[in-house]
Amino acid sequence: MFLIRFDSIIVNDEPKVSSNPAMVERWAEDRQYLRNDAREALAAFHRRRNESLAFVRRLTPAELERGCVHPTGRITIDRFVAMMARHDDNHLDQLTRALEGKA
């Protein structure tokens, strides 16, 4: 979702975006995360994250300050990048706990 939002923000002036927690559950079910091979899932995640980072690295400082209207308020691409890092840290922590049998 990050890359889709980044692209939308660059192409549109202050686009409105939504936040739907139910969609996250639907993605997990539709994508059958529990049945995925861990190595394949990690490789897919790595590819997608690299695509997002490559996109962000090409942006100018002014483009990083472009934003969207989110239900929680205006969010810039720069802020989304910070959110992306926290998001990744959270998932890595979940993975570590799962591997340790603490999930």
Q: Considering only CA atoms, which of 72, 95, 61, 66 is closest in space to residue 6?
A: 66
**Per residue in 81-99, pLDDT tens?**
999 999 889 888 877 787 7
Give pLDDT, residue 103.
Answer: 63
CATH number of the domain enclosing 92? 1.20.120.450
Q: What is the total residue count of the chain?
A: 103
pTM over 0.85: no
**Per residue in 41-78, pLDDT tens?**
788 888 999 999 999 999 999 999 999 999 989 999 99
What's the CA gap between 7 and 55, in Å, rounded? 9
Domain count, the chain: 1
Query: Residue 101, by phi and psi: left (phi above 0), alpha (psi -120 to 50) or beta?
Result: left
Phi and psi, residue 67, nearest 5°? -145, -175
Domain of residue 81, residue span:
2-99
More confident residue, 100 or 7: 7
